[in-house]
Amino acid sequence: MIKDIQLRVTLPEEKQPDILTKKSAQFLGISSGDISGIKVLRKSIDARKKLIVFNYKVTVFINEPMPESSEYHFDYKDVSNDKPIHIIGFGPAGMYAALRCIELGFKPIVLERGKNVQDRRRDLKAINQDHFVNEDSNYCFGEGGAGTYSDGKLYTRSLKRGDVRRVFENLVYHGATDQILVDAHPHIGTNKLPKVVQNVRETIINNGGEIHFETRVTDFIISKEEIKALVLQNGQTMDVERVILATGHSARDIYYLLHDKNIALEAKSFAMGVRVEHPQHIIDSIQYSCSSERDALLPAAAYSLVEQVNERGVYSFCMCPGGFIVPAATANGEVVVNGMSPSKRNNQFANSGIVVEINADKDLYKYEHFGVLKALKYQEDLERLAFTAGGRSQVAPAQRLTDFVNGTLSADLNPTSYQPGLKSAPLHSLLPKLIGGRLRNGFKAFGEKMKGFYTEEANIIGVESRTSSPISIPRNERLEHPQISNLYPCGEGGGYAGGIVSAAMDGERCAEAAIIGL
């Protein structure tokens, strides 16, 4: 017999050996000896009250063996001599599109502007230490895309867009811990993601696919509203039949290229703001109601906050417990910050984007003359402003949280995880009122919701601007651009995803669409 049940385990109980077996037997009214195995399906923590509880969903196997293998099977076959599908970009969308092409018997040819994960590390070091941005290899561009260095947060609400479990199982197949199949808010960790990404690369190459690094696409050759070839940075022309465009939300040159060729784009609402960074022990004390160090069984505490301020949402984004802040600019002359965490989430700081919704139709009237590029131009201007305010390097402008809300320049700043360094700047006056005013009210509200969150021990750091694409590339019900046939906009860059999992699912969908009729 097999039974799925829900269990609640208190923190003291969690420390007992075989507690799930004991609890399951008690719940089902059977002997512990009748239980031959327990499979944990989901685990989450409820810390809303002083008595912390672990919520489990488990499958209990009663007097019958527990299966060892996954129900998912990935059938990767040799596609060396099969029809090609060209994929531009090798982030989560491009990776999963390539893997799905192989399963379906088509040869993926991936063109990635950046470097592989090993070589990419040197360029990340150059950003942090030398303040130099390689515009093709950075925290956004390169093997695995921005996802490789965003700590691999896998939580998604996109449950109707595809098979979430399949995406997770494929990550486990390629080396991720199977804990991601269990945790309510799973993540892999910045330190472990590169190996997973490398394993995906090897699967693609070993099965006849191609991946070309440091290969930037600079032009599309279009005839009779059909994409015919790609022009590469080295001047080479590559004939194509089907193209999946998975370049991510920061490939601005692609948006400008499409716009210059009069290919339809649409301005898209998005969000911008700052990173807020607290000592992790402050967040732990708030969330776990503890006055000293958190219990060893508890992970670094996270939070999720949202508030409506003047008809716009102000909310936390990409919260990184036990993490650090990194420079995510994709060009020199701009400052962009992002956050990530190692797998153990054991850094002394917690950080999160705190961002404001920007309605592209209502909020950017001063940028209307840029047409569909208005939100992109607005984003660019704020990143250049941050560059100037930080001293014209990758040093980021920052302010104590309380000083920002009170409208005073910080005399000094708190310690930070941001390696290039911080410079005190009056972000309260530098940020447009559209963003700054709402942030100030939002932070006050968050301080009421989480007593201790609003503190002078926290810094805010600018700017958090790459939450999603400020432009969408339209597509029809066949997932094809309505104007240019055989071009399939995909993932975050197309405006069809908001994270690793949704991008991966969209990559699979685009692969399935692109092969039709070939």
Residue 200 Ramachandran class (φ > 0 left, ψ -120 to 50 alpha, else beta): alpha
How would you class 381 by CB atoms within 10 Å of its CB: exposed for 0-12, middle for 13-18, buried for 19 or more?
middle
Residues 108, 244: Cα–Cα separation, whole Å: 10
Helix axes 117-125, 193-206, angle to 10 degrees: 140
Four-CA torsion 450, 455, 457, 459, nearest 10 degrees: 90
The per-residue pLDDT for range 84-134, each reduced to its tens digit, is 999 999 999 999 999 999 999 999 999 999 999 999 999 999 999 999 999
Q: Tell me if residue 230 falls in helix, strand or coil.
A: strand
- Enumerate residues 6+ apart whose C-beta is below 8 A from 254: 88, 217, 245, 247, 493
The per-residue pLDDT for range 323-369, each reduced to its tens digit, is 999 999 999 999 999 999 999 999 999 999 999 999 999 999 999 99
Report the relative pairing of strands 471-472 and 422-424 from DSSP bridges: unpaired
Identify the pLDDT of residue 291.
85
Mean of the per-residue pLDDT values for the chain? Answer: 95
Mean predicted confidence (pLDDT) in 305-317: 97
Helix axes 252-260, 374-389, angle to 10 degrees: 140
Identify the pLDDT of residue 70.
73
- Rg (the chain; Cα; Å): 24
Buried b / exposed e over 10-25, threshold 16 CB at 10 Å, is ebeebeeeebbbebbb
Residues 266, 258: Cα–Cα separation, whole Å: 11
- Enumerate residues 6+ apart whose C-beta is below 8 A from 371: 267
Residue 71 has pLDDT above 80, yes or no: no
- Structural contact between residues 382 and 463, judged by C-beta atoms closer than 8 angstroms: yes
How would you class 384 by CB atoms within 10 Å of its CB: exposed for 0-12, middle for 13-18, buried for 19 or more?
middle
Identify the pLDDT of residue 378.
97
Residue with tokens 């000592």: 279
Mean predicted confidence (pLDDT) in 221-235: 97
Residue 412 has pLDDT above 90, yes or no: yes
Question: Which two tokens mark 249?
Answer: 């939300």
Identify the pLDDT of residue 158.
63
Question: In which residue ranges of the chain is CATH 3.50.50.60 found?
Answer: 84-265+473-515
Question: Which two tokens mark 265?
Answer: 């784009």
Report the relative pairing of strands 422-424 and 396-400 from DSSP bridges: parallel
* pTM, 2 dp: 0.95
Mean predicted confidence (pLDDT) in 233-254: 97
Identify the pLDDT of residue 159.
62
Residue with tokens 């607290």: 278
Percent of the chain with pLDDT over 90: 92
Question: In which residue ranges of the chain is CATH 3.30.70.2700 found?
Answer: 2-62
The per-residue pLDDT for range 424-460, each reduced to its tens digit, is 999 999 999 999 999 999 999 999 999 999 999 999 9
Q: What is the DSSP string of 44-104?
A: EEE-SSSS-EEEEEEEEEESSPPP-S-S--------TTSPEEEEE--SHHHHHHHHHHHHT
- Structural contact between residues 499 and 153, judged by C-beta atoms closer than 8 angstroms: yes
CATH architecture of 2-62: 2-Layer Sandwich (3.30)
Question: Which two tokens mark 29?
Answer: 């009214």
Residues 176, 154: Cα–Cα separation, whole Å: 12
| Fold held by 84-265+473-515 | FAD/NAD(P)-binding domain (3.50.50)
The per-residue pLDDT for range 201-216, each reduced to its tens digit, is 999 999 999 999 999 9
Reported confidence tier of residue 23, pLDDT bands at 50, 70, 90: very high
Mean predicted confidence (pLDDT) in 397-419: 98
Count CB-CB contacts under 10 A for residue 446: 21
The per-residue pLDDT for range 140-190, each reduced to its tens digit, is 999 999 888 766 788 777 666 678 999 999 999 999 999 999 998 899 988
